């Protein structure tokens, strides 16, 4: 005969699991993953690395942190040269936070080790068990978070191995489906990403991958054209993520990065039929400087050069 689980038994089971999981991940150690950062500090770094200039108030609310505690963390980060503060143009009382290059360098090994740690946890499991484990975790999130976990935030992260192939694939698929462009466009995208990887200069170039719950939703690149001019390339957003402001968010991040790196201008090339992208560029302050008809990707097109003075 099956007996029912009492409320006390359920509480004990959940507490037992949390003790197991925190021990398994080593989060109770003085420094997370052998780093100089506590668990809370590492989480703040993660948010700053994967958000577009949040305020301290937004971090307090989303992470459920005491404002005084967060203020002390941010002060230490600022003293260590890990973050910068910029006063909001719309509200002088607010300051937007972002990681400096030094901050990104400090976060990168922590992020890599965290991913490697989880991958090592999953490695011994059969594929079916891995999927079952992830589904169980999703179930816990959704039930304990009142359904909010179903709408996970979109984060912007640096590129990783495998991302470039995906970007080429999705450009080929989407532009063929939506504009009828042939495989020569996919070949062009492959050449662009191959050149980016071969000559990548992290001090002056970057790729952003927009991701939600492990699914890639878009990308954008900034590459060096000259000491003064950056080139914006390969902006794309998945159909299911359009209308969320993601394209504008990617462009804004690329502009912010270019300003920080001392570029004086951003240039880009697009085609006149790409109305959504052109609208984003215009709203961000880019101006059309030239246009020329050309035959490419199996169609007669009008290519356009746009620039933004920084």
**C-alpha–C-alpha distance, residues 260 and 254, integer Å:** 10
Is 135 in contact with 67 (CB distance < 8 Å)? no
Domain boundaries, the chain: 7-150, 155-309
Q: Which of 202, 195, 204 is nearest to 266 (CA)?
A: 204
Classify domain 155-309 by CATH architecture. Answer: 3-Layer(aba) Sandwich (3.40)
Q: What's the pLDDT score for residue 146? A: 65
The per-residue pLDDT for 122 is: 87
Domain 155-309 in the same topology as domain 7-150: no
**In angstroms, rounded to a whole number, what is the distance separating the alpha carbons of residues 56 and 299?**
49
Q: What is the CATH number of domain 7-150?
A: 1.10.10.10
Q: Is the pTM of this model over 0.75?
A: no
- Kindly report the backbone phi and psi dihedral angles of residue 211, in degrees, each rounded to the nearest multiple of 5, phi listed first: -140, 140
The neighbouring-strand residues paired with 95 are 87
Q: What is the pLDDT along the chain (310 residues), one digit of tens a residue?
A: 445 567 888 888 888 888 888 888 777 776 777 788 888 888 899 888 888 788 888 888 888 889 899 999 999 999 999 999 888 766 667 788 889 999 999 888 888 888 888 888 888 888 778 878 877 887 787 777 765 555 667 889 899 889 999 999 999 999 999 999 999 999 999 999 999 999 999 999 999 999 987 789 999 999 999 999 999 999 999 998 888 899 999 999 999 999 999 999 999 999 999 999 999 999 999 999 999 999 999 999 999 999 999 9
**φ, ψ at 56 (rounded to 5°):** -60, -35
Residues 280 and 244 sit within 8 Å (Cβ to Cβ): no
- Report the alpha-carbon distance of residue 162 to residue 197 in Å, rounded: 12
Structure tokens at 43: 């989480």
Q: Kindly report the number of other CB atoms within 10 A of residue 102's CB atom.
A: 12
pLDDT for residue 90: 65
pLDDT of residue 34: 76
């Amino acid at each position: 005969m099956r007996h029912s689980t009492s409320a006390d038994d359920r509480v004990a089971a959940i507490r037992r699991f949390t003790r197991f999981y925190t021990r398994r991940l080593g989060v109770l150690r003085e420094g997370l993953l052998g780093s100089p950062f506590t668990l809370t500090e590492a989480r703040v770094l993660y948010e700053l690395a994967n958000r577009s200039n949040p305020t301290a108030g937004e971090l307090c609310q989303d992470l459920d942190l005491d404002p005084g505690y967060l203020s002390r963390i941010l002060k230490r980060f600022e003293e260590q040269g890990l973050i910068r503060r910029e006063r909001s143009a719309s509200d002088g009382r607010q300051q937007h936070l972002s990681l400096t290059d030094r901050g990104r360098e400090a976060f990168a090994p922590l992020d890599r080790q965290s991913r490697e740690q989880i991958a090592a946890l999953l490695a011994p499991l059969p594929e079916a068990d891995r999927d079952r484990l992830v589904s169980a975790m999703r179930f816990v999130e959704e039930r304990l978070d009142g359904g909010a976990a179903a709408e996970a935030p979109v984060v912007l992260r640096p590129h990783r191995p495998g991302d470039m192939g995906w970007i080429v694939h999705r450009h080929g698929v989407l532009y063929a489906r939506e504009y009828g462009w042939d495989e020569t466009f996919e070949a062009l995208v492959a050449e662009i990403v191959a050149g980016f990887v071969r000559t990548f200069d992290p001090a002056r170039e970057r790729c952003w991958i927009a991701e939600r719950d492990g699914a890639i939703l878009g990308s954008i690149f900034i590459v060096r054209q000259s000491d003064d001019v950056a080139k914006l390339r390969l902006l794309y957003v998945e159909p299911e993520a359009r209308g969320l402001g993601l394209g504008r968010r990617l462009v804004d991040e690329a502009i912010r990065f270019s300003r920080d790196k001392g570029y004086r201008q951003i240039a880009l090339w697009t085609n006149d039929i790409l109305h959504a992208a052109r609208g984003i560029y215009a709203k961000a302050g880019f101006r059309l400087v030239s246009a020329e008809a050309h035959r490419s990707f199996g169609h007669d097109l009008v290519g356009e050069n746009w620039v933004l003075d920084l």
